[in-house]
Every structure is written in structure tokens, then in C-alpha cells.
Amino acid sequence: MTTITRTAPAVAAPSRPGVGAALGHTMTLAWRSLVQIKHNPMELIDLSVQPIMFLLLFTYVFGGAISGSTGEYLQFALPGIVAQNMLFASMTTAVGLSTDIDKGVFDRLRSLPIARFAPLAGRIVADTLKQVWAFALFLGLGLALGFRVHTGISGVLGALTLLLTFALAMSWLAVLVGVTAAGQEKVQILMFSLMMPITFTSNAFVATETMPSWLQKWAEVNPVSHVADAVRGLLGGGPVASDATICLLWAAGIAIVFGPLAVRAFRTRT
């Protein structure tokens, strides 16, 4: 008798998704993160309640003491509070990333035929879109309280673009913290410990010249100060080019330094 041996057909190795498919995967996962708000409204409440609370608190509690007029202080402080909120909102990226990793979401996604970077990029894109909501809420409430935009729609769009650019750069720092710190509580503590001193030692809330001389030197190079001043110029009129340029240089530097570190840590962790 002759034994017939059948050879199983070779299974082709899965090919890497193309650029178009990878972008599609990224946007799908970004939409997934946004849809989660429907089931967990606290994510959006964090981006809604905190801006309202900070704006009302600083305007009506500290505004009269600092500027002598709540209206005058609102015109000065709203751009700074917007910049501060943008940094604090980056905490959601770190916490959300840490949660997905701990729950094994990234392990399940990695088993699918999708681009390897799509889960991380999708999270960053979704959190950036949430920043648009926070900015719109800030501006709408500010206008209701008496804030005035003197540069029209072009100034508003310019301010939003600058804020989102800096937020994207800061998201790499958030990613690094989210994948290296063990547990959500440690992520929150570490992010809060990083963001609080940076924002409150800037000119976001008070003019630089009112600070001690030693603190003025730091405030003058603090990236948050340049973000706040650039947004003030874009919304209220005034010089913009210098602060916007420095802000973009800071954003590029942060992305160059923390981007590779974050990607390496993410690949190691997942």
C-alpha cells in the first residue's frame, strides 16, 4: 500500500497594515474612547466641572484682590486658566492609558490585525478632541461672564490650534507616566505633582512682575507662561509672535525628548 502524505498549505504571515488602514484603526479606537463617555459620563464631567469651578473661583474670589476688578481680572486670567486646564486634562490620558493596560485592553487589541501604534494613537486623538470641548466650555462661560474676544474667529481658532499643539506634546509625557507608574493612584499623584508647580509658578494667574525676583526668572522661561501670553494675545489682541514661537519650540522639545521614551516604555509594557 502506498501512503499518501498531504502537506498542509503554508500560512502566509500577516502583512502590516498600510498607512490608510493604520489611520482608520487609529480613528476607530479614538471613537471607541469617545463613545465610552456615554457609559461613563464622569470622564466628561471632569472636563466640565473643573473648568467652571476654576473660572468662577479665581474670578470672583481672587479677581478683586488681585486686579481690583473681577472684569479686568477675567480678561487677564481666562487665557491662563485655559492653559492650566489643558495641562491638567493631560492627566486623563495618563490615567486612561494606565487603566486600559491594567484591564488587559491593549493585550486584546494587540491580538487583532491592526496597526501596533493604533491603540496608543487613538487614545491621544480622543483626549485631544476632549480638549476642544473644554476650550469651548471655557470660552462660552467666559463670554457669559464678560470676557471679550477682540480678534474675531481667527484669533479663537489660532488660540485653539496653539493649545492643541502644546497638548499633543504634553500627551507624550502623560503616556510615559501612564505606562511606567504602577496603578491609577500613583499615576494621578505623579501627574498632579508635575502639573501643579508648573502651572502655579507661571503667569497664568498673576502678572510676573508681582512675583519675587527669583521666581520671576523661572516664570519668564516657564512654558505655561508663554502659552498663557500667546493665548492672551490671540484672544484679546497684543503681541503674539514671540510667545507663540517659544511655545512651539517648547512643544517640539517636549515631543522630541518624551516621545521616544514614551513609545519605548509603551512597547515594553504592552
pLDDT in tens, 227-268: 999 999 999 888 899 999 999 999 999 999 999 998 888 888
d(CA 85, CA 47): 8
**What is each CA distance from 84 to 25, 38, 43, 193, 268, in whole angstroms?**
31, 26, 18, 14, 31
In this structure, the number of other CB atoms found within 10 A of the CB of residue 232 comes to 24
Instruction: Report d(CA 21, CA 144) in Å as an integer.
Output: 43
Say what the pTM is: 0.84
C-alpha 100 chain-centroid distance: 18
pLDDT at position 147, please?
92
User: Torsions phi, psi of 157, nearest 5?
Assistant: -65, -35
Q: ∠111-117-122 over CA atoms, to 5°?
A: 100
Residue pLDDT tens, the chain, 270 long: 455 445 444 444 445 666 777 788 888 888 887 877 777 776 667 677 877 888 888 889 888 888 888 989 999 999 999 998 888 888 888 888 888 777 777 777 777 777 777 888 888 888 888 888 889 988 999 999 999 999 999 999 999 999 999 999 998 999 899 888 877 888 888 888 888 899 999 999 999 999 999 999 999 999 999 999 999 999 988 889 999 999 999 999 999 999 999 888 888 876
Q: 115: which DSSP letter?
A: -
Contacts of 34 (CB under 8 A, 6+ apart): 126, 129, 130
C-beta neighbour count of 126 within 10 angstroms: 24
Nearest-angstrom CA–CA distance, 243 and 241? 6
Distance CA 142, CA 60 (A): 12
Nearest to 203 by CA among 177, 179, 227: 227
Alpha-helical regions (H) of the chain: 19-39, 42-57, 63-67, 70-102, 105-110, 118-145, 152-180, 184-200, 213-221, 223-236, 241-269
Name the DSSP letter for residue 62.
I
Buried b vs exposed e over 38-61: b needs ≥16 C-beta within 10 Å? eeeeebbebbeeebeebbeebbee
